[in-house]
């Protein structure tokens, strides 16, 4: 079912408008999806492209009132990519537990925490683990456990 979902019927909230957040928001917006970006710093919006057609909210997303205002209840996906792992974990869990958002993805820098939280029901991505897998692939190892 996920494969034939159409971007233009989706409402996605992106928390954290850094390089990753802004790029995700730009590409979703270009694909015609409805996007809302939340960031505590109003200057971060400069990373969004000129064609970005979504909403921008300057709020602290760890506050429940901000998530309320963002109408998280209606969101199909929430992508949490601030530069703080623990804030990402907390916001992701609030989205899932309090607003019942179906798809919640959080970026975690620390691979240790990533392994734990991927077991706790949040979808997590770790730049380090992803890069490791890619490097291993390039080196011709099929498995990603070659950390040591």
Partner 1 sequence: MKTRVVLVGGFSKAKTLARSLIDRGYHVSVINNDRSHCEELAEIEKLLVYFGDGTKPSVLEDANTFGADIAIALTDSDADNLVVCELCKKRFSVKKTAAVITDPKKTDFFYRMGIDSVICVVTSVAGIIQQQAFMDDISMLMPVGDGQIMISQVPIPVGAPAVDKTLMELNLPRHVIIGCIMRGEKGMIPRGDTRILAGDVLVLISAKQHEGAAVHMLTGR
* Interacting residues toward partner 1 by CB under 8 A: 62-65, 84-87, 89-91, 93-94, 97-98, 110, 112-113, 116, 120
Q: In terms of CB distance, is 31 or 116 closer to partner 1?
A: 116
Say how far apart CA 99 and CA 111 lie, in whole Å. 27
Say how far apart CA 27 and CA 11 lie, in whole Å. 13
* Minimum CB–partner distance for residue 22 and partner 1 (Å): 22
Q: Where are the beta strands (DSSP E) in the chain?
A: 11-15, 34-39, 55-58, 77-80, 103-107, 123-125
* Minimum CB–partner distance for residue 88 and partner 1 (Å): 8
Q: In terms of CB distance, is 81 or 89 closer to partner 1?
A: 89
Q: In terms of CB distance, is 62 or 133 closer to partner 1?
A: 62
Q: In terms of CB distance, is 17 or 87 closer to partner 1?
A: 87
* Minimum CB–partner distance for residue 8 and partner 1 (Å): 33
The shares of helix, strand and coil residues in the chain, as percent rounded to the nearest 5, are 45, 20, 35
* Minimum CB–partner distance for residue 41 and partner 1 (Å): 17
Say how far apart CA 62 and CA 106 lie, in whole Å. 14
* Minimum CB–partner distance for residue 73 and partner 1 (Å): 15
Q: In terms of CB distance, is 59 or 113 closer to partner 1?
A: 113
């Amino acid at each position: 079912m996920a494969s034939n979902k159409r971007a233009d019927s989706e409402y996605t909230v992106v928390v954290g408008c850094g390089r990753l957040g802004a790029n995700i928001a730009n590409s979703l917006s270009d694909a015609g999806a409805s996007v809302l970006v939340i960031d505590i710093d109003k200057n971060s919006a400069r990373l969004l492209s000129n064609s970005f057609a979504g909403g921008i909210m300057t709020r602290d997303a760890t506050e429940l009132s901000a998530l309320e205002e963002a109408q998280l209840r209606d969101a199909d996906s929430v992508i949490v990519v601030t530069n703080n792992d623990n804030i990402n974990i907390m916001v992701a869990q609030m989205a899932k537990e309090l607003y019942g958002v179906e798809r919640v993805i959080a970026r975690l820098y620390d691979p240790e925490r990533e392994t734990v939280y991927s077991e706790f029901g949040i979808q997590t991505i770790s730049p380090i683990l992803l890069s490791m897998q890619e490097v291993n692939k390039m080196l011709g190892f099929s498995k990603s456990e070659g950390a040591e």
